[in-house]
Structure 1
Amino acid sequence: MNGVKPKGIVVFSGGSAANNLVDVFKTVRENKKGSLSYVIPISDNGGSSSELIRVFGGPGIGDVRSRLVRLIPDDPDHDDSEKAAIKAFFNHRLPKDKAEAKQEWIQIVEADHPLWTNISNAKKELIRSFLNFINFEILKRLRPSSTFNFSSASIGNLFLTGARLFSGSFESAIYLLSSICSVPSHTLVLPAINTNFTHHISAGLSNGTQIAGQNSISHPSIITALEGQSPPSEHEETEMHDRIEDANLPGSLPTLRKQYITFSKSDEEDLPAKIERIWYINPYGQEIRPPANPRVVEALKECQTVIYSIGSLYTSIIPSIILKGVGEVLSSPSIRHKILILNSTNDRETGPSSSPFSALDFIASIAKAGAESRGFMGEVRKGEFRAYVTHLIHLQGLGTPRVDKEELAELGIETIRVYGRRVDGENYLRYDEKALVQALEVTMGRKGPGVERSRRNTLEG
């Protein structure tokens, strides 16, 4: 041994989509014998997180919680019923019906619920103490104008919020949940911003439209009004929200103060135009430039490989890249491999369907975000794309984004096509895990410099 510390891997991702690849990244990390860091955005203001943000403020924690719980190790040689119980507990959501949800929450807090089965007394009482704490904080904030809605609430999100409020530290809350979930020390879940405050994002479209709030960017906004009445004006809506006693600042944007507990992830309407830019805003809609979590910058400085995982480009990946301090390190040649795992399909953010994003569009967006992190605005020259993306791994088939290999090769970006598989009921391809592991390892040099990119067991037939 030469005493050189193995370089780590940093994965930029959101929540649910990249959770499907956790075992892939775990295998690659084990073979490289280094560290693995997940960088997760905290700007999500949809789902049950929206109610926690409305009442308590603070970051959007849903994606952080889901990754920590997904990282609970599986031991095929042992029947570890407690780990399975903890995973089920922190992933559990209360019923959609408001009254039923509150009743089930009381059962959980009072330890009178089947979810506690197979969780040891020591861990049960530790977990329950933070659930009791958040329950007490909810009761303290109860007002005639504002009551907490437990509908579809995530128990893991409630626990993580309780731990953050109790300790006064988001980082400490993550450490506590990591410990309970037995997440290995070589694997870190790092929020893009280490904060006790809410950070929202805004999108600028090519037609000049601006959309405030991640949920409004990712999912169609539904305007509701009584029959025969017009929806309230922004001024009327602001005044209406100002009469509600919650964690939001008076006069702040109504779209950032609404409850987005229920929405559809499947019924997506096209945006009126393509997204051109993402930026952070304060509660009044003004642009701000927050710095990245120092631990994220540190992880990037110590890594050899960066992976941009599958997921929503503009709400899962870009919000972490545009933060101050990230682009400078990302563009450094000290990071040898900068790998984009291309989505198998375009979504609302990378449409519209009449003009879907190509692989080059994905890469251009990442490069532009990296440049903006460094303070450079405007378009980035194609010749500079390779500073942020050196390799592209992709699928090929009906509905997959177009990949122009010749053009990418001229830019110095290597492409690797891997096997895909279809799951019954889904209209898109999924990555084959074994093929993706091999593609990543070949790219990162595990097989040596002489490996060809057209290995039969890597490429789609």
Structure 2
Amino acid sequence: MFFNSLNKSFSQMLRRVRHETPWLAPDPPRRVNRIFKWLAPGLLVKRWLFLSVGGVLLVGLGVLISLKLTPVFYTGQFLGSIFRFLANQIPNYVSGPLAILMGLLFILWGQTRTLGAITEVLLPGNETELVDVLMQERRLARGPKVVVIGGGTGLSNLLRGLKQYSHNITAIVTVADDGGSSGRLRREIGVLPPGDIRNCLAALADEEKLLTELFQYRFKAGDGLVGHSFGNLFLTAMNDVTGDLEQAIAASSKVLAVRGQVLPATLSDVKLWAELSDGRRIEGESKIPEAKGQIVNIGCSPSHPPALPRAIKAIREADFIVFGPGSLYTSIIPNLLVPEIAEAIATRKIPRIYVCNVMTEPGETLSYAVSDHIRAIDRACGKPLFDAVLVQRRGPSEVAEERYAQVGAAPVLLDRETVLSSGRRIILANVMEESATGSVRHHPQRLAKVLMRWYSRTQGIW
């Protein structure tokens, strides 16, 4: 871009001048940088400013014409005499450019002062310039349409990173949860479980931190309130007011200034069940991991829940689809048990990637390798839904392995040949973060960066 290059060159020149003339002001003039930023195309500000100036001129011309053109003639004569006088006193090759320069300076001065006043109102106490906010908003608004499928903390963790690259994000979330606060609300009031949806809304929120913390606040005292989060109760109340969960989510998204959208996979009251290798049949999402068995089959009742139409629309318009991270059988696969969702994904010829968990999960994926995760998804859906799998490159520390070994978990091993034979590409990257206590999870920013880099590299292949 011409103006961006000009701005960069000007900044470099100022830095060189500062180095050679230390007696100058220690910091380069920020106003000059700000002016060049406002000149950058794509902000949708300058065109309306010039349109306003043109409107003022037209109004003035219309007034003069309404007065039978006489003022136009005399005004022209008066201005002409002034210009002739100036041309006689100052050469035109000096006066012309000088007038243009002064006019541009007045326009830019007026523009920056006006927008500076607007910034003080819209961004009080924020050092970020309005022009920087506008440029960032335009960049994110032009970001790819990303659909992320899953549930639990893994999905909300990824969303925190992805929202730095695009505002066109759709999170399709499972509604099979029946444990904790969500399970209690589901049993006592009959609403769809709001917990995973609440986490995703908070992750995509663009509001102030205090409001997000309020939405995530969990009551520690009070009859019937202990264990409930404020966001769950808020969504439940909105569900009752608006009539369904979809409208409740839309209203909550406005409160939190959510960028993107969070959608339940279905509005049906779905109950998850699993058949174990020892012949047991376990019903209920929260009871499946507690059974501590090897899952050989998984499904839901009703067996063919209808998909939310907006979820199908988001998949059909997506540029990029991401599965996970999250619990394989209780967060990711439940969304794909909605036949319309699996079918819509299967028909898309776009980049589709599965983010494999770093550690196995007792009661779900004990002793699973990467290929076992892939086989489980293919078996549940009856067809392959993704083309690549993202695997953590470097394993966790000995401290972390010992900590997870106490509960029967271990790192998910990459069986490269088996994965490649399934027709999937392998993306190896270091996207894990480890806490001081040895807890392991995906790093939101690192994971999002790797995913978006892979997406950009695959453009033109599909």
Q: Select which of 391, 395, 404 maps to 1:394.
A: 391
Structure 1: gaps (5+ residues): 75-82, 103-148, 221-270, 282-286, 372-383, 451-461
How many Å separate the matches in 1 of 2:173 and 2:428? Answer: 26
Alpha-carbon spacing, 1:276–1:150, altered in 2? closer, same or farther (3 Å):
same
Q: Which amino acid aligns with 1:72?
A: A
* Corresponding residue of 2:370: 359
State the TM-score, normalizing by the size of structure 1. 0.62
Q: Which amino acid aligns with 1:21?
A: L
How many Å separate the matches in 2 of 1:437 and 1:59? Answer: 29
Alpha-carbon spacing, 1:160–1:335, altered in 2? closer, same or farther (3 Å):
same
* Corresponding residue of 2:352: 338
How far is 1:427 from its partner? 4.5
Q: Which amino acid aligns with 2:230?
A: I
| SS of residue in 2 equivalent to 1:347 | coil
How many Å separate the matches in 2 of 1:427 and 1:172? Answer: 36
How many Å separate the matches in 1 of 2:460 and 2:186? Answer: 49
State the TM-score, normalizing by the size of structure 2. 0.62
* Corresponding residue of 1:127: none
Structure 2: gaps (5+ residues): 1-41, 43-141, 397-409
Matches within 5 A, 1:355-434: 356-371=367-382, 387-395=384-392, 396-398=394-396, 399-419=410-430, 420-428=432-440, 430-434=441-445
For the 8 Å contact 1:390–1:414, the answer to whether it is kept is: yes
How far is 1:339 from its partner? 0.5
How far is 1:389 from its partner? 2.0
Q: Does 1:175 align with 2:250?
A: yes
| RMSD after superposition | 2.4
Q: Does 1:86 align with 2:83?
A: no
Matches within 5 A, 1:7-406: 8-29=145-166, 35-73=168-206, 83-95=208-220, 100-102=221-223, 149-184=224-259, 187-195=260-268, 198-219=269-290, 271-272=292-293, 274-281=294-301, 288-332=303-347, 334-352=348-366, 356-371=367-382, 387-395=384-392, 396-398=394-396, 399-406=410-417
For the 8 Å contact 1:101–1:150, the answer to whether it is kept is: yes
How far is 1:199 from its partner? 2.2
| SS of residue in 2 equivalent to 1:29 | coil
CA deviation string 1:145-181 (max 9, x = no partner): xxxx222111111111111112212111111110000
Name the stretch that deviates more: 65-74 or 437-446.
437-446
How far is 1:326 from its partner? 1.5
How far is 1:20 from its partner? 2.1
Alpha-carbon spacing, 1:280–1:449, altered in 2? closer, same or farther (3 Å):
closer
Q: Which has the higher contact order (CA 8 A, sep 6+)?
A: 1
Percent of paired sites with the same residue:
26
For the 8 Å contact 2:145–2:169, the answer to whether it is kept is: yes
How many Å separate the matches in 2 of 1:316 and 1:407? Answer: 24
CA deviation string 1:253-309 (max 9, x = no partner): xxxxxxxxxxxxxxxxxx13x11222112xxxxx53212111111111111221111
Q: Which structure is larger by alpha-carbon Rg, 1 or 2? A: 2
For the 8 Å contact 2:351–2:458, the answer to whether it is kept is: no
